[in-house]
Amino acid sequence: MKITPGAVVKGGTSLHYKTGDWRDQRPVIDQEACQKCGICRDVCPDDSIKVKDEQYEIDTDFCKGCGICAHECPAQAIKMVPEEK
The reply on whether position 79 binds another protein by CB under 8 A is: no
The reply on whether position 62 binds another protein by CB under 8 A is: yes
Question: Up-side HSE of residue 38: CA atoms within 13 Å toward CB?
Answer: 4
Interactions with another protein, residue window 8-27 (CB under 8 A): 8-19, 22
State how far the Cα of 22 lies from the Cα of 11, in Å rounded to an integer.
23
State how far the Cα of 81 lies from the Cα of 77, in Å rounded to an integer.
13
What residues line the site for another protein (CB under 8 A)?
1, 3, 5-19, 22, 35-36, 38, 42-48, 51, 54-56, 59, 61-62, 64-68, 70-72, 80
